[in-house]
Structure 1
Amino acid sequence: METSAAGAGRPGGGGKSGTAKQLNVGGKLFALEASSLSLSLSLDPSPTPTFVDRDPALLSAILSAIRAPSSPPAFPARVLLDEALFYGLHAQLLAALSPPPLLGFSASLASSPGLHVYDLLEGWHVASVEWSDPTDLRVLKAKVIAIAARPPADATDTNSPILATFECPHRENCILAIDPVTLKPIQEIGRQSGSAAKSSSPDRLVHLQELGLVFASSVSSGAFGYSGYMRLWDIRSGNVVWETSEPGGSGRSSRFGDPFSDADVDVKQLMLYKVCSKSGDIGAADLRRLDNDPWVYMSSGPKGSGGGHGSVLHCYKSQVFVSRKDGLEVWSRLEEQRDDTCNLPEQRGAKETLDRKGINENSFRSSYVDTEEDSKRGMIEMMEGGGDRLFVTREDMPVVEVWESSRLAGAISLA
C-alpha cells in the first residue's frame, strides 16, 4: 500500500486534517490525507477503502512528483495535471512541477540604457555596459536590442565575448563585443546608420563559436509586407562573410514575393532556418555551404497552410519551433529524433529536393505539439528554450507558458 501526506494542512477537501483516507485505485491501495482530497472522495462514509476505477500508475506518479519535485515525472505533465483534478491534488502538483520563482530586480538599479549585468544568486546589480564614441556625439543613450546566448558551461571556451546589439535614439547601431571578465567593450562590429531596412538594428544575434562568426538578422513589417536581412560577421576582423536580404537580393525568382518573417540558427548542427511570410514554408540552409541561393524549402501541408505572417521561429536542442495561427509546429532532423517524441502526430510536408545543398529530402519531419485548445489562446509571439523547457508568450496574454520540451507534453501557465 502506498501512503502519502500530500497536501497536509492545505485546504482542498472536506476531511479533517490528519485523517487518513484509503483509496482502492484499480486494485492498488493508497492512503492519503483526507483534507487533501476532493470532497467526493474525502466525505465517503464507508469504512472500507473507496474504490476508484482509474489507473493506479498515474496516481503513483502524481504522489511521487509532489514528494520529489526535482525528479522527472514518469508521465507527461499535462496527463498528470488532468488526472490530479479528479483527486483534488491539482494545486499541489502544479506547484511541484512549476519552476522556482524568479528573482526580481529593482528598475532603479538600471535607470540608464545599456547592458546591465546581475548576480542571480545574490540578487544584486553587478555592472552596466554602455556604447560610447567620443568622436561621434550621436552615439548616446544607446539601448540594447538583442543579446547572443552565452556558450554552455561545458564549452571549450567559456571566456568568449558577450555579444549585444546597441541602438541609439536616431537608430545608429552596432554589435558590441564585451569581455565577460572585465565587462568592458573590446570590439565594435558592423556599425550601421539605421536609416534604411538593410541597415536597421539586428534583432536576433547568434554566436557561432565553432566558426568564429556571429549571425545577425533584422526583420520589419508594414503595409507592403516584410523586409529584412541576414548577415554573418567575422568576429576577429569585423567583416561580413555572407549576407542576403529579402525581398530582392539573390535567389530563385519564384521566392521573390515571399520574404522571411523570422530566422534563427541551430548552433549544434550549423543549420540556418527561416519561415516565409507569405507561404509559411520553412527554408533550411547549411552554414558550411552558403552561396547566393542556399535554401531548401519545406511545406507544412494543409494544417500549416495559413502562411507565415506573424510567425516566429526558434531553434532549440536540434529542433525548430515555429508558431502558427493554428498551433505550435516543430521540425526535426530524423536522425536526431528521440524515443520520447516519436509518438507525436506527424504531418509530413512536401520538400524540394536539392541534394547539392547537403540537405537530404528525407532529413526532416514536422509535427504539431499542442492541442486545438492551446491554439485558441492566441498565436505565440515569443519563444525561448531553457533546460528541458520551452517558455512561450502569446499575443494579448499576460502570462508565460512553460512547455516540457523534453516530452513536448503541453503547457503550464504561470501568471
Structure 2
Amino acid sequence: MNFPIIAHEPNVVSINVGGRIFQTTKQTLTLAGTDSLLSQLATESARFVDRDPDLFSVLLYILRTGNLPARSRAFDVRDLIEESRFYGIESFLIDSLSNSSQFEAFDLRKSRILPLNGRDSPSTIAPTGIGGGIHVAHGSKITSFDWSLRRKSTVLTNFSAVDSLLEISPGVLAAGATDFPGLQIIDIENGGLVRTTLNWENLTRSSSTVQAIGSSSEFLFTSFESSRRNSNSIMVYDLSTLLPVSEIDHGEIYGADIDSAIPSTKLRWIQSCNLLMVSGSHSSPSGVNGHVRFWDVRSKNMVCEIKETRDCFSDVTVSDNLSAVFKVGVTSGEVFYTDLRSLGSKDPWICLGEDKKRSLSERRGAGCKIESYGNHVFCSKGSGIELWSEVITGLIGNATRDVPKERVFKKNLFGKLADSGENKITGVAFGGSRMFVTRKDQQFIEVWQSPSRGVSI
C-alpha cells in the first residue's frame, strides 16, 4: 500500500522536553498567552526544555482541550502546580481542575487543615473569586491561601480585628471592622498596601465603622454605622472605580424608635431579582428583633421588608438557585424559608424543622450560621452542620392543582464533633468545590470537599 507523502507543515512545532519530542501547532502554544514560556517556544528555533516530559504531556493536553487527562491521577498535584508555574499556564490548570472537580454536597469530607500563624482565631473568611482559595482574617492579620492551598501569604492590617472581608478583584480585598473607622481597600499582592479608605459622611460628622460588605458584578455595598451608634446607612460604590453611586437604607434614631438604629450586618445580592437583601438584628431585655429588607439599588426604593419579632433570625441567607430566603431562628434554632415569589405576605416564614411547635423560652439558635451554595443550604448547629436540599416531587394530573403549598426539603447531618461547646462552628464559606469551616478558639481552617475525580488537591 502506498501512503501519501505529507509535506512539511511550517505551522507544526517540535519541542524536546527532557529528551522526548512533542509536536503541536503554533496556535496551540500561543493560547498560553504572550507572557508564557510556551508562547515563546512557538517562535524560537532551538526548542529544548530540561523538564519532566510526563508532566509536560499533561499540561499540553490541558492546553489543547481545557480538561485534565485521565492519566493525571498518577501525578502529585504539587508537581503539576510547579510545572504549570514554570511554563506560565497556571490559570489553565486552575480551570481544568474546576472542570474536573465538582461540588457534591452529599459527599463532603474533611480533606485538610490550614494552620494560621499566631494565637488569634479566625474572625471572618472570604473565598477567592476563582480556584477555591481563601482569605482569612485573624487578629490584625489577613492570611491568604491560593487555589492550591499550599502557597500562603500574610499581611498586617491597621485593624485590631477584621470583622468584614471581601475579595473585590484578584489580590484586592475590602476590609472593615466594627470598632475602626472606614472601609479599607487592601492590595495583598503588594504587602498589604492600603490603596484607599472609603468613609460615610453622616449627619453628626462622626467617624463611621463598617458592619457588613457585599457586592454584585457592578457594585460594592458597604453597611456603615456612625461611631455614636445613632445612625446607619448603606453606601453603593462603583466596583471598578470605587466612586460613590448612591446611598440607601439610611436610619436615624428618633425618640423611642429603636428599630431605625439597627444597622444591617449582612448584605447579599440576588442576581435573579436584581435586588440587594440586607438584614440586621438587635438584642434587648425584651428579646431579639430585626429586619430583612430588599432594595432596588438603581431606583433606591425598598421593595419589601420583613420585620422580625417572634423568633428573630440568628442568621439569614438567600439562594438564587432555590429562589428562597432562609433563616435560622435565634430562639427555636430551627431553619425557616420564604419563597422569593411570595415576598410581602403577612406570615412569610415556613419552618423546615421537625418540631415546629418548639417552645421559644431559650435561644437555641444563638450563634448558628446559615449559608447557601448551589442547590443546597448549610446551617451550623453547635459543632455540626445541617444540609438542607429540596426534594423534587413528580406532579400528577393538573399541575397547578397538585403543586403543594409548602415545598419539601430534606435534612442531612455531618461534621459533628464530640464536644460541641469547645468545637462550635463560627463560620462557613464556599469556593469552587470546597467548603471552609472555622471553629471556636481554633487557629486553623478546615477544608471540606468531595473526593476528586481527577487530581487530588
TM-score (norm 1): 0.60
In the TM superposition, residue 96 of structure 1 has moved relative to its aligned partner by: 11
Residue 121 of structure 1: aligned partner: 189
Question: Which structure dedicates a bigger proportion of its chain to strand?
Answer: 2
CA displacement 1:183-238 (0-9 Å, x = unmatched): 12110101101561353100001122332321111123344432211111121222
Q: Is the Cα contact below 8 Å between 1:65 and 1:73 reproduced in 2? A: no
In the TM superposition, residue 382 of structure 1 has moved relative to its aligned partner by: 2.4
TM-score (norm 2): 0.55
Say if 1:300 and 1:394 are closer, same or farther in 2 by CA, change over 3 A: farther
CA displacement 1:123-176 (0-9 Å, x = unmatched): 43222211125xx3x13311111001x34xxxxxx3x11111011112211000
* CA distance in structure 2 between the partners assigned to 1:359 and 1:401 by the alignment: 41
* CA distance in structure 2 between the partners assigned to 1:394 and 1:307 by the alignment: 18
Residue 42 of structure 1: aligned partner: none
* CA distance in structure 1 between the partners assigned to 2:249 and 2:355 by the alignment: 39
Residue 350 of structure 2: aligned partner: 296
Q: Which of the residues 268, 272, 280 maps onto 2:333?
A: 280
Residue 35 of structure 1: aligned partner: none
* CA distance in structure 2 between the partners assigned to 1:311 and 1:78 by the alignment: 20
Q: Which of the residues 263, 268, 275 maps onto 2:316?
A: 263
Three-state SS of the structure 2 residue aligned to 1:121 is helix
* CA distance in structure 1 between the partners assigned to 2:233 and 2:158 by the alignment: 25
User: Amino acid of the residue matched to residue 221 of structure 1?
Assistant: S
Say if 1:66 and 1:278 are closer, same or farther in 2 by CA, change over 3 A: same
Three-state SS of the structure 2 residue aligned to 1:113 is strand
* CA distance in structure 2 between the partners assigned to 1:381 and 1:319 by the alignment: 19
Q: Is the Cα contact below 8 Å between 2:182 and 2:210 reproduced in 1? A: yes
In the TM superposition, residue 392 of structure 1 has moved relative to its aligned partner by: 2.7
User: Amino acid of the residue matched to residue 126 of structure 1?
Assistant: R
Residue 448 of structure 2: aligned partner: 404
Residue 245 of structure 2: aligned partner: 186
Q: Is the Cα contact below 8 Å between 1:129 and 1:185 reproduced in 2? A: no
In the TM superposition, residue 301 of structure 1 has moved relative to its aligned partner by: 6.4
* CA distance in structure 2 between the partners assigned to 1:146 and 1:113 by the alignment: 13
Q: Is the Cα contact below 8 Å between 2:383 and 2:416 reproduced in 1? A: no
In the TM superposition, residue 325 of structure 1 has moved relative to its aligned partner by: 2.5
Q: Is the Cα contact below 8 Å between 1:219 and 1:226 reproduced in 2? A: yes
Three-state SS of the structure 2 residue aligned to 1:307 is coil
Say if 1:188 and 1:284 are closer, same or farther in 2 by CA, change over 3 A: same
Three-state SS of the structure 2 residue aligned to 1:372 is coil
Q: Which of the residues 187, 200, 207 maps onto 1:131?
A: 200
CA displacement 1:240-266 (0-9 Å, x = unmatched): 21112121xxxxxxxx4x332221111
Residue 370 of structure 2: aligned partner: 313
CA displacement 1:78-126 (0-9 Å, x = unmatched): 4799xxxxxxxxxxxxx99745324414428999721111234334322
Say if 1:185 and 1:374 are closer, same or farther in 2 by CA, change over 3 A: farther
Say if 1:143 and 1:79 are closer, same or farther in 2 by CA, change over 3 A: closer
- The residue correspondences of 1:46-85 to structure 2 (distance < 5 A) are 64=76, 67-68=79-80, 78=110
Whether 2:428 is the aligned partner of 1:383: answer yes
Structure 1, gaps ≥5 residues long:
1-59, 82-94, 152-157, 248-255, 337-354, 409-415
User: Amino acid of the residue matched to residue 325 of structure 1?
Assistant: G
Task: State the superposition RMSD in angstroms.
Answer: 3.9
* CA distance in structure 2 between the partners assigned to 1:285 and 1:407 by the alignment: 33
In the TM superposition, residue 332 of structure 1 has moved relative to its aligned partner by: 1.7
* CA distance in structure 2 between the partners assigned to 1:359 and 1:285 by the alignment: 14
* CA distance in structure 1 between the partners assigned to 2:434 and 2:308 by the alignment: 32
CA displacement 1:317-366 (0-9 Å, x = unmatched): 23211111352111122459xxxxxxxxxxxxxxxxxx99x876563111
User: Amino acid of the residue matched to residue 275 of structure 1?
Assistant: V
* CA distance in structure 2 between the partners assigned to 1:359 and 1:164 by the alignment: 39
Whether 2:424 is the aligned partner of 1:392: answer no
Q: Is the Cα contact below 8 Å between 1:226 and 1:261 reproduced in 2? A: no
Q: Is the Cα contact below 8 Å between 2:110 and 2:446 reproduced in 1? A: no
- The residue correspondences of 1:31-180 to structure 2 (distance < 5 A) are 64=76, 67-68=79-80, 78=110, 98-107=149-158, 113-123=181-191, 124-132=193-201, 136=203, 138-148=204-214, 150-151=215-216, 158=217, 160-171=218-229, 172-180=231-239
Q: Which of the residues 399, 406, 414 maps onto 1:369?
A: 414
User: Amino acid of the residue matched to residue 210 of structure 2?
Assistant: V
Residue 220 of structure 1: aligned partner: 282
- The residue correspondences of 1:201-216 to structure 2 (distance < 5 A) are 201-216=263-278
Q: Is the Cα contact below 8 Å between 1:198 and 1:229 reproduced in 2? A: no
* CA distance in structure 1 between the partners assigned to 2:339 and 2:234 by the alignment: 24
* CA distance in structure 2 between the partners assigned to 1:129 and 1:96 by the alignment: 29
Structure 2, gaps ≥5 residues long:
1-71, 82-93, 114-145, 160-174, 394-399, 453-457
User: Amino acid of the residue matched to residue 276 of structure 2?
Assistant: V
